[in-house]
Amino acid sequence: MKNVVIAGYTRTPFHAAHKGELVRVRPDDLAAMAVKGLVERTGVDPDDIEDLILGCAFPEAEQGFNMARLVVLLAGLPITVAGTTINRFCGSSMQSIHFAAGAIQMNAGEVFICAGVESMSRVPMTGFNPMPNPVLYGHMPGAYMSMGETAENVGRKYQITRPEQEAFALASQEKAAAAQTGGRLDGEIVPIKINGVSVDRDGCLRPETTLDALAELKLAFDQNGTVTAGTSSPLTDGAAAVLVCSDDYAEKHNLTPTARICSTAVAGCEPETMGLGPIFASRKALARAGIEAKALDVIEINEAFATQSIASIRDLNLDPERINKDGGAIAIGHPLGATGARITGKAAEILAREGGRYALSTQCIGGGQGIATVMEAI
């Protein structure tokens, strides 16, 4: 069976929806910029690319049609490169990596671009015209429960206090600020030109955050709860792209892989506590890789909310010192369809940068799912 590797990772800057620098940029243009940057930086031969698999959580309006194929054309890739758009909500672009890995092992292509995008400024969360199934909603309303409500449910289930959440959020902000100041984010970001001005830094970070400031924030979802905007990932605009290929292709074409994909997994869970999805998916992925959580050197867990991150870390017995070393989504942002590619590309990058053997990327998914990828150093 062929070995599958991560051989490149890029993303746009991530900026706050509705008020950031990317408000006026179309999502298909954002994705095209990330993809074009990936091709240029890796030096992959565009003629060899089998498919562009693009994840998007709400593929309608400017994110509609078959956006992946349009991104192929916008990015100037050869007409022979195919494109498909996929949706597993927040796990969409990590799923694109899983699909590419499977295709490579089936000898259905050697090199793929796996990308994701979300403009939460231009296409609202839940879309423009949500229409829940009335029968399903009648007997299982949790299938359509808001993400904030699920975060409160997880917090209550695991008895996670507000101060504990705020300490976690502050750590995310501090790590991200240190990474930005230290230039550790520069290499992954493709600058975006807007009216002649280059946007090349993330805009969601709040380096001035303090525990006192977090404690003063109003509750966001439940006036009897514990979750605030400061302990939640912000609505975000952004795109990310990862180059996935066989190790034979990487060696033959002088690419520089950062990690080998060992195993992948998805799992379902109760919709009302969808934030626990990483627990179930990660357990499966770790078992398939034949390792235990203590063997992980690098862990990227999407910080949709502090409650679900803390619960997942507890249940999986993960080492906090190895988690989100350059900050997580509470600080950097969470453009739904793009996050899976970001955290998987980032985990591979940190593994190559700092050494170690194994890395895990994992995230929860609205509706009650989890997704996970285990990687090994080259």
pLDDT along the chain (378 residues), means of 10: 96 98 98 98 98 98 98 98 98 98 98 99 96 97 97 98 98 98 98 93 98 98 97 98 98 98 98 98 98 98 98 98 98 98 98 97 98 98
List CB contacts of 30: < 8 A, sequence separation 6 or more. 12, 22, 117, 119, 192, 237, 238, 239
Global pTM? 0.98
Tokens of 345: 């590309």
d(CA 113, CA 76): 14
Strand partners, 370: 267, 364
What ranges make up the beta strands (E) of 49-148?
51-55, 82-86, 111-119
**Domain spans in the chain, listed from the N-terminal domain onward:** 260-373
Among 317, 322, 321, 320, which residue's Cα sits nearest to residue 351? 322
Residues with a catalytic annotation lie at 90, 334, 364
First to last CA, the chain: 17
Q: What angle do CA 349, 351, 354 make, to 5 degrees?
A: 105
State residue 14's pLDDT score: 98
pLDDT in tens, 147-175: 999 999 999 999 999 999 999 999 999 99
Secondary structure of 320-371 as H, E, C letters: HHHECCCCCHHHHCCCHHHHHHHHHHHHHHHHHHHCCCEEEEEEEECCCEEE
CATH class for the region spanning 260-373 = alpha beta
Tokens of 42: 């890796």
Listing DSSP states for 105-118 in one string gives HTTS-SEEEEEEEE
Q: Strand, coil or helix: what is 3?
A: coil
State residue 1's pLDDT score: 81
d(CA 61, CA 122): 9
CA 114 from centre of chain? 12
